[in-house]
Amino acid sequence: MEEKPSASIKPYLDKLTLGVTRILETSPGVTEVAFVEKEPAERHTIISWEQKNSCMLPEDLKNFYLMTDGFQMTWSVKTDDTPMPLGSMVINSVSKLCRLGGSSMYTLPNAPTLADLEDDTDEEGNGDKPEKPHFDSRSLIFELDPCNGNGKVCLVYKHTKPVVSPDTEIWFLDRALYWHFLTKTFTAYYRLLITHLGLPQWQYAFTSYGVSPQAKQWFNMYKPITINTALLSEEADSFVNKLDPNKVFKSKNKTPVIKKKPPSQPAGSQKSHMSMTSSKTSSLAGNSSRKRDPQI
């Protein structure tokens, strides 16, 4: 059930959600569309965050926080009359806009950090490929969306020396700690978040390997408002290991030989049969010995 917004945010609710609430409520099988109300962030909270991290928030993100301190909308689908959580749209609040890769005073002196993953041989941006963020002091990285454990959407300041540049970008960090560029501005990313309906793993649509087969099924059922149709029409073989069953199971293709079990016989008849067989064998042996003896 959708929570009732307060009077301060109600006039902006439809614009804030881009009308996606009505779209979800009229979709088949969708239930429990919930928008979590959040009060606007106080200006001194934003200033305090900027002073603590020695950088300025982008103007569009700052205006967003001054309207609502974070964003959360979820929806479920009904399977066997039981709601199952599916869609999730999250923007962390100012207090949860935490830095990634920064050293903590509580870590051990020699404990490994994300900065240890830096490799100078990584390909840098050239032409149409932007330069990737760095976990070390060359970049400032803040978590915008935890993506339900499927990765992290991050606000990235890529140039920090000699001072932090106000230019920011939105990047997706997958579970293998590879970077994927999403948008240049927070506003553009927010539109992507809403128009993809918060479907599971939707950020992977902007990676070279795409969404998983399970996520693609949800994409086909609840199509995002804007989506690359080539993503859904892609061959399923590209997501599955290509195995030749004739080669893998070559030794198992032979037709099994069915052995017929001889009919069971009574114990008495079996003994008589064995005695007759042994007597015939002894008689044959005696005859053969007579034929070979010239004196008989």
Sign of torsion, CA 155 161 165 169? negative
**pTM value?**
0.69
Domains of the chain: residue spans and CATH: 12-232 (3.40.1580.10)
pLDDT tens profile 232-261: 555 444 444 443 434 433 444 445 555 555
Q: How far is CA 274 from CA 32, 81, 278, in A?
A: 81, 71, 6
- Residue (of 121, 148, 145, 144) closest to 132 by Cα position: 121
DSSP 275: H
pLDDT at 246: 43
pLDDT at 285: 46
pLDDT at 226: 60
Cβ count near 262 (within 10 Å): 6
Coil, helix or strand at residue 249: coil
Q: To the nearest 10°, report the CA torsion of 194, 67, 94, 74.
A: -30
Q: What does pLDDT average to over the chain?
A: 75
* 144-150-154 Cα angle (round to 5): 25
pLDDT at 266: 54
Per the model's pLDDT, the better-predicted residue between 36 and 9 turns out to be: 36
Give every strand in the sheet of 99-100, ordered side by side.
Answer: 99-100, 140-145, 151-157, 169-174, 179-183
pLDDT at 224: 77
Residue 281: which pLDDT band, with cuts at 50, 70 and 90? very low
Per the model's pLDDT, the better-predicted residue between 226 and 96 turns out to be: 96
**Whole-angstrom Cα distance, residue 199 to residue 220?**
11
3-state secondary structure 74-127: EEEEEECCEEEEEEEEEECCHHHCCEECCCCCCCCCCCCCHHHHCCCCCCCCEC
What's the whole-number mean pLDDT along residues 95-124?
62
pLDDT tens profile 46-61: 999 999 999 999 999 9
Q: How far is CA 280 from the centre of its chain?
A: 78
**Whole-angstrom Cα distance, residue 178 to residue 190?**
21
What's the whole-number mean pLDDT along residues 117-137?
68
pLDDT tens profile 142-159: 999 999 999 999 999 987
